[in-house]
Amino acid sequence: MRTFCWTKNIAGVLAGIALLTLTGAQAADPALKIVVQALFPNQVVLEIQGRRRVLTRGDTSPEGVRLVDSDATHATLAVGGETFRVGLDARIGGPITAHPTPRSARLIEARDGQFYVEGSINGNGLRFVVDTGASTIALNANTARRIGLLYRVDGTPLTVETASGPTRAYALRLRNVKIQSISLNEIDAVVIDGAYPSVALLGQSLLRQLDMTRSGNMLELRERYASSTTGGRKP
């Protein structure tokens, strides 16, 4: 029997080291070399051409490297008019292509302590609640029927564990899921017989493909550019 768990949990991620070789209008010959030595919210420690630089958000180094933004997992650097997003433990050699600014969704904590976001499944609008403990997106049967999911035809029957005990459900893959400006394809989900959950759960089948940053009562979900085995960004 397959089970489904959405117990709340909290995970923390610490900074790593990333290495880039950049070329562009401001790059010297040989190519400008940058090592990200430490990452913090709004601050980064870099080694640029062998020199240690500590940049706060908005600062530009003597070599022309500007810190656009950073958190404990990523830094966005601007060099020669191009923007580069550095992920944890990235190892990039040779010239690289700048990424556009990643799309994000900013959510404000509701009175009940939850984070809600308007989105859509396969182009049909619905509301999600962020649940970091849910292993996948989950919605009830009535919601699934309303947005046109043929879960009994396309889904695989299974049993999930809910607050009311074991319940019949169907696992399926969603063609597209969108939350605000973020759009991802081929996302796993389950449809649960009955009225639970009353609001669709935005679980880890989608959340693990995004970066999450909590600041006070705001939660930011930000897309990544690394490819995923379970889904992908929609152009």
In single-letter form, the type of residue at position 14 comes to: L
| pLDDT > 90: percent of the chain | 46
Contact indicator for 225, 96 with CB cutoff of 8 Å: no
More confident residue, 100 or 131: 131
Q: Residues, the chain, total?
A: 235
Q: How confident is the model at residue 172 (pLDDT cuts 50, 70, 90)?
A: very high
Contact indicator for 129, 183 with CB cutoff of 8 Å: no
Instruction: Inform me whether the pLDDT recorded for 47 exceeds 60.
Output: yes
Mean pLDDT of the chain: 79
Query: Do 41 and 148 have their domain in common?
Result: no
Would you state the pLDDT for residue 225?
58
DSSP annotation of 36:
E
Instruction: Inform me whether the pLDDT recorded for 229 exceeds 60.
Output: no
Minimal CA–CA distance to 79: which of 27, 120, 37, 129?
27
Instruction: Inform me whether the pLDDT recorded for 96 exceeds 80.
Output: no
Region 22-46: mean pLDDT is 66
Would you state the pLDDT for residue 164?
79
Instruction: Inform me whether the pLDDT recorded for 3 exceeds 70.
Output: no
| pLDDT > 70: percent of the chain | 75
CA dist., res. 44 & res. 214, Å (int):
18
Count the domains in the chain: 2
CA dist., res. 4 & res. 7, Å (int):
10
Query: Do 15 and 69 have their domain in common?
Result: yes
CA dist., res. 132 & res. 6, Å (int):
8
Query: Do 33 and 129 have their domain in common?
Result: no
Please state whether beta strands 116-121 and 104-108 pair in parallel, antiparallel, or not at all (unpaired).
unpaired
Q: How confident is the model at residue 5 (pLDDT cuts 50, 70, 90)?
A: very low
Look at the pTM and tell me if it is higher than 0.75.
no
Lookup: tokens for 87 = 């992920």
CA dist., res. 132 & res. 11, Å (int):
9
Where is the domain boundary, 99, 126, 143? 99
CA dist., res. 174 & res. 137, Å (int):
9
Instruction: Inform me whether the pLDDT recorded for 202 exceeds 50.
Output: yes
Where is the domain boundary, 99, 128, 151? 99
Query: Do 126 and 226 have their domain in common?
Result: yes
* Residue that the structure tokens 């649960």 belong to: 192
Query: Do 115 and 154 have their domain in common?
Result: yes
**H-run or E-run covering 104:** strand 104-108
CATH number at residue 202: 2.40.70.10
Query: Do 93 and 209 have their domain in common?
Result: no
| Host domain of residue 225 | 104-233
Region 84-94: mean pLDDT is 53
Would you state the pLDDT for residue 101?
61
Query: Do 89 and 110 have their domain in common?
Result: no
